[in-house]
Amino acid sequence: MTSTPPDLTFPQGFQAAAMAAGIKPSGRTDLSLVTSSHDCMWAFAGTRSTTAAACVTRNRALAGTGAPVRALLVNAGNANAATGEGGARDNAGMADAAGSVLNVPAEAVLTASTGIIGHRLPMDRVLSGVEHLPDELGTAAAPFAQAIMTTDTHPKTAHATLSTGARLVGTAKGSGMIHPDMATMFAFVFTDAQVDQAALRAAFPGVVARTFNAVTVDGDTSTNDMAAVLANGLAGPVDQAEFLSALEGVMRDLARQIAADGEGATKLLTVKVRGARSEAEALTAARTCCVSPLLKSAVHGNDPNWGRVIMAVGRSGAAVNIEAMTVAVQGQPVFAGQPLAYDAAQVSESMKAAEVVFDVNLGVGDATGEAWGCDLSAEYVSINADYTT
Amino acid sequence: MTSTPPDLTFPQGFQAAAMAAGIKPSGRTDLSLVTSSHDCMWAFAGTRSTTAAACVTRNRALAGTGAPVRALLVNAGNANAATGEGGARDNAGMADAAGSVLNVPAEAVLTASTGIIGHRLPMDRVLSGVEHLPDELGTAAAPFAQAIMTTDTHPKTAHATLSTGARLVGTAKGSGMIHPDMATMFAFVFTDAQVDQAALRAAFPGVVARTFNAVTVDGDTSTNDMAAVLANGLAGPVDQAEFLSALEGVMRDLARQIAADGEGATKLLTVKVRGARSEAEALTAARTCCVSPLLKSAVHGNDPNWGRVIMAVGRSGAAVNIEAMTVAVQGQPVFAGQPLAYDAAQVSESMKAAEVVFDVNLGVGDATGEAWGCDLSAEYVSINADYTT
């Protein structure tokens, strides 16, 4: 995993600005804008929640048109979710205002909101902020990565350079953001590679499934989760396979950073599943392990209690041949159709690491999947027990 | 909810015995037997886990034959799950031994194990215990209710008497039992009512869905969960509708007791959903609220953060019309298509109760559903962080 280099810049043609508009009570930066000098091909994935926020609904509708985009406006501190028709108007108003100051159609502006649910946006502050943001545009990525955070403990970026010199710069906010209300996750990747939009959109759901959607902190699904990639083509054509591989690497890096920064987390939990009937079942089994409060608690306590893996896999519904199933903890085999003898104290010691890895073979096929989570600490409870009151 | 009266007796023809066979390190009673003097009609529901324990697999197969049963042998402290073919032989050996001492076929003996996963049973202790149990048979329900517990803080029973005098006595062990390893739940109901087995089996899945399966402490599904009802007919014919209503009442009472005694729980969380498209969707929405760590943490902190209900319902996948959706906390309306004004301090005060109730209307139909859980406390984490080591 990479930390955000202070001098990381966006790919050619992209610029960003961030400011403290007064949405977060803390006074930190909370309103940010990314622009592209040229039209972007793009792909989008939004939350599967049936109570999705207006920003998700609007972006999804825009994706349906196939039209290019030019900007992304993000606010943190207020999710603008469950705010009724007034909230939907506020969301459209954000895009209208950004389009107006940037002299592009409102439909070329994506929006994203994260924070507490059920409160109307302070639109006066948002709109005067949008007026001001274009004066602050620059090529540095750090201010944007910082401004989209809620309770993340640090900004999250990842980047890659292709053989042609085209670059990808990704930023994310993660599940350390339950603070205002929930585990809203954002992942935004900007690239100057020239890509075919149809091919990008065909590949993006799979990339999202294996990266962004393989992160779980508490199993809760935000009304506002979204991932998007914007490509302005300024660096010219690239090899499609090389690009997709780099995109997946950037998204994977961001996903692991999000998991490691989960609320109250002290370590990263990685579950690698193989021998599954399908990639979907492998991912489901891995995710179900990562979300299990029992397994997460055991990982917190450095407890090699692999029975909780058997339990979580069983719960996931993925096909299993338990006679052929194997489980290893930090490389130590502990189950192979039946319990194996091992040195529990030694394995417990090996779990006192920044990352705890379970390897699970379901014994029924050839498909693989990997998911990331974090341990469950008492701090998670105290962080979430009384936010609004 | 009822607590176990010390003088509660089983219905006619049923007797039980319990002993400390040495399976639990604590030395508490851990092996118990219920017998019926006459053949029982019965119905069974087992975990949906794909890594189900041998006892679940065997009982399910017996249910498939339609043959009557005469006894139930339960051990606590060891789940006999993920123990391979040897573990399956041990489970069959339990039934063989009980059948032998009771002079009934092994196929007339149901088995149930709960406790840590991945450890072989101490069969010498189990088998010598089974030899001893028939000498201890009596009509009191409390010893059995006690012996099936793991980390439950108290035994759980519920009972009902029909107009004909036929009785139902239910016992359960609940999700305060994560201690050995996981949330194994058992619910056993014994009755002297004479019932039609086909009708009972047709109705039982629905009763289980609305009661036992509507309980969630942490979303984890045990390898060993099971619910069963045994009816020996000694009290003669009963009205089928009256019986099913009483059965659901007993199961519902047990379910609420299980939820209230969740690991680390300080209060019962009840979510009532109406206006759903189907009962299944109503139950899914209610269960998803009850399992949400964010909502559970908010309830722990007396935080009327209803946005977490919107989030959890959205995550559940149940159909929602958010414009028509309503949410109330402890009877106080907080959302009706948009946020409502309310006195947050007053609602928070009202949440300092033994039970916190959310009423949710999805606004798309007429179906209802109710689920029960508990708050998430820091104690849950400390209980589960280091059991085996």
Chains A & B: contacts with CB separation below 8 Å: 254
- How far apart are alpha carbons A50 and A60 in whole angstroms? 13
The pLDDT score that the predictor gives to residue B274 is: 98
Identify the residue whose tokens are 């729980």: B265
The Cα of A22 is separated from the nearest Cα of chain B by a number of Å equal to 21
Q: Which range, of A319-323, A378-382, B221-225, averages the lowest pLDDT?
A: A378-382
Cross-chain Cβ contact B378/A376 below 8 Å: no
The chain B residue lying nearest A222, using CA atoms, is B311
Q: Looking at mean pLDDT, say which of A215-219, A379-383, B156-160, B383-387 comes out highest.
A: B156-160
Cross-chain Cβ contact B220/A292 below 8 Å: yes
| Distant-in-sequence, close-in-space partners of B224: CB < 8 Å, separation ≥ 6 | B47, B52, B53, B55, B56, B79, B81, B112, B113, B114, B184
The pLDDT score that the predictor gives to residue A182 is: 44
Is A173 annotated among the ligand-binding residues? yes
The pLDDT score that the predictor gives to residue B389 is: 40
**pLDDT of A2 above 60:** no
Is B361 annotated among the ligand-binding residues? no
The pLDDT score that the predictor gives to residue A185 is: 86
| Enzyme catalytic residues of A | 184
The Cα of A165 is separated from the nearest Cα of chain B by a number of Å equal to 41
Q: What's the rounded mean pLDDT across residues A338-347?
A: 94
Q: Is B164 a catalytic residue?
A: no
pLDDT (tens digit, 9 = 90+) per residue, A68-83?
Answer: 999 999 999 999 998 9
The residue ranking higher by pLDDT, A102 or A51, is A102
Mutate to test the interface with B, among A119, A263, A296, A315 (most CBs of B within 10 A): A315
**pLDDT of A175 above 70:** no
The pLDDT score that the predictor gives to residue A221 is: 61
Task: Using alpha carbons, list the distances in angstroms from residue A187 to A13, A270, A389.
Answer: 19, 20, 30
Cross-chain Cβ contact B292/A219 below 8 Å: yes
- How far apart are alpha carbons B310 and A114 in whole angstroms? 15
The chain A residue lying nearest B177, using CA atoms, is A294
The pLDDT score that the predictor gives to residue A95 is: 98
pLDDT (tens digit, 9 = 90+) per residue, A358-370?
Answer: 999 999 999 999 9
Structure tokens at B353: 């109760």
Q: At what angle do helices B378-385 and A378-385 cross, to 10 degrees?
A: 170
- How far apart are alpha carbons B1 and B76 in whole angstroms? 24
Task: Please name the member of B311, B314, B387 whose beta carbon is closest to the beta carbon of A305.
Answer: B387
Cross-chain Cβ contact B219/A291 below 8 Å: yes
Q: At what angle do helices B307-316 and B293-300 cross, to 10 degrees?
A: 160
First to last CA, chain B: 36
Mutate to test the interface with A, among B80, B313, B381, B386 (most CBs of A within 10 A): B381
ipTM of the complex: 0.73
Is B83 annotated among the ligand-binding residues? no
| Distant-in-sequence, close-in-space partners of A171: CB < 8 Å, separation ≥ 6 | A141, A144, A145, A148, A155, A156, A157, A186, A187, A188, A189, A254
Is B352 annotated among the ligand-binding residues? no
- How far apart are alpha carbons A338 and A328 in whole angstroms? 12
Task: Please name the member of B116, B292, B317 whose beta carbon is closest to the beta carbon of A307.
Answer: B116
The pLDDT score that the predictor gives to residue B388 is: 46
pLDDT over 70 percentage in chain A: 93
- How far apart are alpha carbons A265 and A274 in whole angstroms? 26
pLDDT (tens digit, 9 = 90+) per residue, A5-30?
Answer: 778 999 999 999 999 999 998 899 99
Q: What SS3 state is found at A322?
A: coil
Regarding beta strands B355-361 and B326-329, do their DSSP bridges make them parallel or antiparallel, or are they unpaired?
antiparallel
The chain A residue lying nearest B323, using CA atoms, is A84
Q: What SS3 state is found at B81?
A: coil
Per-residue confidence band for A389, with pLDDT thresholds at 50, 70 and 90: very low
**pLDDT of A328 above 90:** yes
The residue ranking higher by pLDDT, B277 or A1, is B277
Q: At what angle do helices B279-291 and B197-210 cross, to 10 degrees?
A: 40
The pLDDT score that the predictor gives to residue B181 is: 40
List of chain B residues whose C-beta atoms are within 8 Å of the C-beta of residue A118: 306-307, 310, 335, 339
Q: At what angle do helices B307-316 and B279-291 cross, to 10 degrees?
A: 130
- How far apart are alpha carbons A378 and B382 in whole angstroms? 7
- Domains, chain B, ranges and CATH? 14-260 (3.60.70.12), 268-385 (3.10.20.340)
The chain A residue lying nearest B317, using CA atoms, is A50
Nearest Cα to Cα of residue B128 among B101, B155, B168, B92 = B101
Among B29, B111, B171, B184, the one annotated catalytic: B184
Mutate to test the interface with A, among B80, B266, B315 (most CBs of A within 10 A): B315
Structure tokens at B64: 């498939």
**pLDDT of A181 above 60:** no
Nearest Cα to Cα of residue A44 among A248, A227, A192 = A227
Full DSSP string of A34-94? EEEEEEEEEEEEE---TT--HHHHHHHHHHHHT--EEEEEEEEEE---S-HHHHHHHHHHH
Is A103 annotated among the ligand-binding residues? no
Digits of tens for pLDDT over chain B (389 positions)?
556 677 999 999 999 999 999 999 889 999 999 999 999 999 999 988 888 899 999 999 999 999 999 999 999 999 999 899 999 999 999 999 999 999 999 999 999 999 888 899 999 999 999 999 999 999 999 999 999 998 788 899 999 999 999 999 999 997 653 433 445 789 999 999 999 999 999 999 999 989 988 887 665 567 888 999 999 999 999 999 999 999 999 999 999 998 888 877 889 999 999 999 999 999 999 999 998 888 888 899 999 989 889 988 988 889 999 999 999 999 999 999 999 999 999 999 999 999 999 999 999 999 999 999 888 887 776 666 654 44
